[in-house]
Amino acid sequence: MPRAKAKCTTCGKPVVQAYRPFCSKRCADVDLSRWLGGSYAIPAVEPPDEWDMAAAIREQDTDPGKLH
| Angle, CA of 23, 26 and 29, to the nearest 5° | 110
Judge whether 67 is annotated as a binding position. no
Over residues 29-56, mean pLDDT: 83
Against a cut of 0.85, is the pTM above it?
Answer: no
Judge whether 8 is annotated as a binding position. yes
Domain 1-68 fold is Erythroid Transcription Factor GATA-1; Chain A (3.30.50)
Q: What is the pLDDT of residue 25?
A: 98
Domain ranges of the chain: 1-68
Count of alpha carbons within 13 Å of 28, Cβ hemisphere only? 11
Instruction: Say yes or no to pLDDT of 14 above 60.
Output: yes
Mean pLDDT of the chain: 85
Q: What is the pLDDT of residue 64?
A: 62
